[in-house]
Amino acid sequence: MKKKRTSLERFRLKRALDTLASKEGRGTELVSLYVPPGRQISEVAAMLKQEYGTASNIKSTTTRKNVQDAIVKVTQRLKLFKRVPENGLIIFCGAIPQNGGPGSERIETYVIPPPEPVQVYLYRCDSRFHTEHLQEFLKAREIYGIIVIDATATTFATIRGKRMEIIEEITSGVPGKFAAGGQSARRFERQREAKLQDYLKRAGKHANDNFLPITDLKGVIIGGPGFTKYDFEKGGYLHYSLRDKVAATIDTAYVGEQGVEEIVEKSPEIMRRVRYVEEKQVVQRFLHQLGHDTGLATYGEGEVRRYLNSGIVRTLLLSEALNQARVTVKCTACSYTKEETMKEQALLNYEQTLAEQSCPQCNSATLNMEEKKDLIDELAELAEQAGADVEVIAVETEEGEMLRRSFGGIAAILRFKPSS
């Protein structure tokens, strides 16, 4: 079964893409390499060797050197792999200008583990990193069921990313609203209503047959012109598990494939809203435990870290807006070690002031920043070791902003009430 994408994986990928997007070269000096699964490492290495030779024709001495240096770095990283990983391999490398002028460039290398199999084999030199193929992985990949219904017909379809597939269409057999051939209006309306009910039941059965077997179905979107879609949604025609997954009911101008395409056009916002609903629910569960004083909720870095280390955290909630680092400082002359959490922007100044400080244990000026790690990553690693779920919460919702503002962006739901 395909592993569900977690909010933590999504956050890490988004952060990596933001970092890559901020990098620019002075010329066509930035290398982007996508290797799909199934390729041989030796084949890719041979291609890079050929590109190294081609780069020798570049007229600019600086550009030629930077491109060849980047290719060497990529080749070195490639040799660390015995085979191309299951989902493929993505490497970005190039000379990134620093604060100085020409000649201040520094070679930077990024290896991105793709969350799904890479579909393209690509080598490109440019003034930017080519992340567009990686950006696709950020988009919703789960399957959504689509039902476009009115009193004349129903269309069933699925959407995954940008791919839409029509499964089937059924017609209603329900006559129009006007009686024909001398029937009394009342009798005609009763007959029409009975046929409409039969049609809605039939549409529900088709929906159940089409969507229940899809194990990774994320949600169901119902659309169509008129009121029939609301009658269908509220009438209990869908299996309860599908009914619980209805993500939106929206108006469309058309039925059939055109109606499905209308929903596809609107689906990115709908799917984004589904994630927001999930995040709101997670925060609400935390607030419920906190408000009812069950002892199963805690917040603040110190308390959460303590319960992570004791293994009783069920769900760790982290605000996407946390911009802090966990720093480990060690004395090179003795065994002194300390850890601190600080804002990312304070890191450089802190590292510089360490050289002026004396070790509180041996009094030597030998303090050194041994390790620095993003706080989200550091806490998430503790959670993963403890078998806890990790939810990275955006700040676009009221609940997400509350997590950031009122609880410092760090909270947890516990497995059981800790002993005092």
CA–CA separation, 287 vs 297, rounded Å? 8
pLDDT band at 123 (very low <50, low <70, confident <90, very high): very high
Does the 7-138 domain belong in CATH 3.40.718.10?
A: no
User: Is a pLDDT exceeding 70 seen at residue 4?
Assistant: no
Find the helix or strand (DSSP H, E) in which 328 lies: strand 324-331
CATH topology match: 7-138 vs 143-178+195-275: no
185-199 CB burial, b ≥16 within 10 A, e <16 = eeebeeebeeebeeb
Q: What is the pLDDT of residue 113?
A: 86
The two three-digit tokens of residue 25, written as one number: 């070269």
Tokens 């799909």 found at: 36
Q: What is the pLDDT of residue 181?
A: 53
Q: Full-prediction pTM beyond 0.75?
A: no
Q: Where are the domains of the chain?
A: 7-138, 143-178+195-275, 297-414
Q: Tens digit of pLDDT for each residue in 385-411?
A: 999 999 999 887 788 899 999 999 999
Q: Where are the beta strands (DSSP E) in 332-380?
A: 337-343, 367-374
Q: What is the pLDDT of residue 416?
A: 93
Q: Which of 1-15, 128-142, 188-202, 298-312 has the lowest mean pLDDT?
A: 1-15
For the domain made up of 297-414, the CATH class stated in words is alpha beta
User: Is a pLDDT exceeding 90 seen at residue 232?
Assistant: yes
CA–CA separation, 254 vs 223, rounded Å? 9
CB < 8 Å & 24+ apart, contacts of 178-186: none
What's the CATH number for 143-178+195-275?
A: 3.30.420.60
CA–CA separation, 391 vs 317, rounded Å? 5
Among 331, 309, 297, 289, residue whose Cα is nearest residue 379: 309
Find the helix or strand (DSSP H, E) in which 155 lies: strand 153-160
User: Is a pLDDT exceeding 80 seen at residue 188?
Assistant: no
Q: Please report how many Cα atoms fall inside a 13 Å half-sphere around the Cα of residue 197, on the Cβ side.
A: 6
CA–CA separation, 28 vs 218, rounded Å? 41
Q: Tell me the torsion sign for CA atoms 210, 213, 214, 220.
A: positive
Q: What is the pLDDT of residue 281?
A: 86
The two three-digit tokens of residue 127, written as one number: 């003034």
DSSP state of 3: P
pLDDT band at 175 (very low <50, low <70, confident <90, very high): confident
